[in-house]
Structure 1
């Protein structure tokens, strides 16, 4: 027992494992990465609501690795989890983990990123398509039609990247933007910096950048500042603490603010309903808003 407890503790993130974690009131949150402030906030929202409702919450970090994600889900049977809350590393690759949970009879809720396959009881997320469109509309309000824009995309294969890109594409068509380039930077700040530096070489006339999350937006901002292009409008997405501070400080023009804490909290509330046998919607939308100066 001592060996098992030690093993569990090494994989546990942000929570203390007790004997109660083997009881029926245990939920599991498998999260894509805790190296991103957005998902840290989501975890904290889930933890707060779980404590409020009297659940033990096991939090496991997949480190943006689908193989690690699958291993995390494989490990849940010995942890006594009754509902799986999962924020996928990849909307397609996560199908293996979800099917594993399905075979084990574990209800599955997806957070922020949808799953391409597998049986999911409910998906809790912002309307990413609407958010991408909101970003484009904001750029049009500031610069008018026919603006020269660049898009920094998130991780290929995630529903968030596809849907935010879809919404922004609608705005590009509606407002007659010239989309000079659209390239992945994997939702990462350093990659956002490097990709933006490379894109500036061939696109010096860019007027606005839409980054599909705040981390990439902040990386792009550093690249633009270094290139002495401070006049370029930058719009991020997520409404993270760093993103909002950058808007307030004038480094970003706006961020499309999600509520990651609300996504986490609502997911726990839905898990509670599932365990009580109540009917839940297959999609729970969480409101978005534009934050600008």
Structure 2
């Protein structure tokens, strides 16, 4: 059963925390694709803060953007005898064998943010509905440009479920109006700021005229594109995804148009509390717990989870 939660996140965490108050000293492995991405740094920090509140020990693992490294991390966690594994898999297919190995070892596994394909026996998936997040980007383009727009689409890392889902969401909204909304270029920039800049620069050089919008599958790529647009003195709307503090600051000063808030702290808290509720009380969580992302612009920036982190 799928449920969509935004306003109810705090309530859900409160319920979980009430049961989890009896500290048992569990050890939970937390594995992210790469701490080179600020999004996962924040997610890990929030996970660790919640773990301290609940009396849980965390083994943190950085996949360093390599499936071989993340696979080795999962194997190390299994060997160390952790009580549970919360993982955001770098690649939804390539990480399946390692995740399956953890399940077969009797370790409860919760995937967070990113899914893994073809693995039976997962305890739960906690994340944002990335398709709806992509749809929010697409709808914002329609609202901003009701008469049509030329669009550059900077896609995420091939094989990652957020990249696939966010791209699908954008196309869900715009493909039915292809006569008005034209994708003049679509290319991956691998969720990386440097590639976001270099890919944008190459795309702009190959176009006869600038696009109206650059939509990016994360804020790092959007910020890279923003740098190029500023350097070239162009007027192009730029829409990111993740609501990083740097992106929020850019929205405040008008250099970035919008981003998508997917509540990574809420994801971390919900994933850990679902795991601990299961370990301590045997309560099975819902198989899929999804938060609904929202578009953040200057008009509603007060709804951003990390607004208080802007310097």
Q: How does 1:53-132 map to 2 (within 5 A)?
A: 53-119=54-120, 120-132=122-134
Name 2:253's counterpart in structure 1. Answer: 249
Residue in 1 that maps onto 2:147: 145
Residue 31 of structure 1 deviates from its aligned partner by 0.8
Q: Distance in 2 between matches of 1:235 and 1:209?
A: 6
Q: 2:92·2:114 contact (CA, 8 Å) conserved in 1? A: yes
Matched, 1:262 2:263: no
Name the SS of the counterpart of 1:42 in structure 2. helix
Determine the structure 1 residue equivalent to 2:224: 219
Q: 2:292 aligns with which of 280, 287, 292?
A: 287
Name the residue aligned to 1:205: 210
8 Å Cα contact 1:256/1:290 also seen in 2: yes
Equivalent-residue separation in structure 1 for 2:248 and 2:269 (angstroms): 21
Q: Separation in 2 of the partners of 1:157 and 1:77?
A: 25
User: Do the aligned residues in 1 keep the contact of 2:154 with 2:215 (CA within 8 Å)?
Assistant: yes
Change (3 A) 1:24 1:101: farther
The runs of 5 or more residues in structure 1 that have no matched partner are 1-22
Give the match's secondary structure for 2:158.
Answer: coil
**1:249-276 deviations in Å (ceiling 9; x for gaps):** 1111000111111111111011112213
State the alpha-carbon separation in 2 of the partners of residues 125 and 249 from structure 1: 29
Q: How does 1:265-276 map to 2 (within 5 A)?
A: 265-275=269-279, 276=281
Q: Deviations over 1:155-187 (max 9, x none)?
A: 000110010000000122244310111100000
Determine if contact 2:78/2:102 at 8 Å carries over to the other structure: no
Map of 2:31 onto structure 1: 30
- Aligned partner of 1:8 in structure 2 is none
Query: Does the Cα contact within 8 Å between 1:83 and 1:271 map onto a contact in 2?
Result: yes
* 2:295 partner SS: strand
Show the counterpart of 1:236: 240
Determine if contact 1:193/1:222 at 8 Å carries over to the other structure: yes
Which residue of structure 1 aligns with residue 166 of structure 2?
Answer: 164
Structure 1 residue 146: Cα displacement: 2.0
Aligned to 2:4: none
- The two structures have a TM-score, normalised by structure 2, of 0.84
C-alpha distance in structure 1 between counterparts of 2:64 and 2:82, whole Å: 20
- Aligned-residue offset at 1:197: 0.3
Q: Distance in 2 between matches of 1:100 and 1:242?
A: 38
Report the Cα distance in structure 1 between the residues aligned to 2:58 and 2:263, rounded to whole angstroms: 20
Q: Partners of 1:205 and 1:47 in 2: how far apart?
A: 44
Give the match for residue 14 of structure 2: none
1:189 counterpart (146, 170, 193)? 193
Give the superposed CA RMSD: 1.3
Q: Is the 8 A contact 1:24 1:82 kept in 2?
A: no
1:133 aligns with 2:135: yes
**2:113 and 2:162 in contact (8 A); partners too:** yes
Mark the runs of 5 or more structure 2 residues left unpaired by the alignment: 1-23, 299-311
Deviation at 1:79, TM superposition (A): 2.8
Structure 2 counterpart SS, 1:77: helix
